[in-house]
Structure 1
Amino acid sequence: MTTKYYYQMKRFIYIITDRNRNNLHVGLCSDLVKTLKFYSDMPSLFFDNAQQLNRLVYFEEINNEEMAMERFKFVSTFTRSQKEKMIRSVNADWVDLTIGLKYEQGMRVRTYVRPSFASRLQQVTV
């Protein structure tokens, strides 16, 4: 008897803009940090250097792939004013959210060993 495990991957819907907020790009990805790194590595892929998409101003995390795709299609049809209203509802000052994501990712990757446990390890190995 075989058992199938279905792993639900997180999906992110995001809006990224340039420094002058001229362009609002809606995207869908499974790894937001990696996607943002791609945008920074390829600054003139979509636009010239003055219109680099480098500021993450909005994102949603959705645990179901089908729901994420439906939400992406829905948000993609928004007008600019609708997107701006959605961004201002959670990020009124249009702050770049990339810094917070990188900080959180660094916290998750870091392993934590209690000091008392670490000293016991040194005593055993010495």
Structure 2
Amino acid sequence: MKRYIYIITDRNRNNLHVGLCADLLKTLDFYKQMPTLFFDSAQQLSRLVYFEEINSEEQAMERFKYVSTFTRPQKEKMIRAVNKEWIDLTIGLNLENNMRQRPQMRPALSSVRRSAVTF
């Protein structure tokens, strides 16, 4: 089962929060629904700036423990290696997730073939 290690920050990059989850989109949605869970409204965690996808639960837990011990400069270096501009990666994840879902308006191919055969 896939696990994700992520770093989320506020709009001013004051706080860097390291987390571990099984469903990244649901976790990010939770942060949006509970904006003052960890901090006040001025420092709400809303920007996903880094994440890793790990296939093993044990490896993910080890990596999470390791990254959690990093100092702020070490976390910043890790983020800048893959996200130099510190852009919010949530937008790309939402777009990718929407592209994977099958459109609801298009009929299934098997039902089209069945109707063509019955004529």
Same fold? TM cut 0.5? yes
Query: In the alignment, which of 55, 63, 69 is matched to residue 71 of structure 1?
Result: 63
CA displacement at 1:28 relative to structure 2: 0.1
For structure 1, list consecutive stretches of 5 or more residues without a partner in the other structure: 1-8
CA displacement at 1:107 relative to structure 2: 1.4
TM-score scaled by structure 1? 0.84
Matching residue of 1:49:
41
**Post-superposition CA distance 1:19-66 (Å, at most 9, x none):** 000000000000000000000000011111100100000000000000
- Residue aligned with 1:25, SS: strand
For structure 2, list consecutive stretches of 5 or more residues without a partner in the other structure: none
Asked if 1:35 corresponds to 2:16, the answer is no
Matched residues in 1 for 2:39 and 2:73: separation? Answer: 21
Aligned residues: 118
CA displacement at 1:111 relative to structure 2: 4.9
Identity rate of aligned residues, in percent?
A: 71
Supply the RMSD in Å over aligned alpha carbons.
2.4
Residue identity opposite 1:59 in structure 2: F
Matching residue of 2:52:
60
Residue identity opposite 2:84 in structure 1: A
4+ residue runs of structure 1 moved beyond 6 angstroms? none
- Residue aligned with 2:84, SS: coil
Query: In the alignment, which of 89, 104, 107 is matched to residue 97 of structure 1?
Result: 89
- Residue aligned with 1:14, SS: strand
TM-score scaled by structure 2? 0.88
Asked if 1:20 corresponds to 2:19, the answer is no
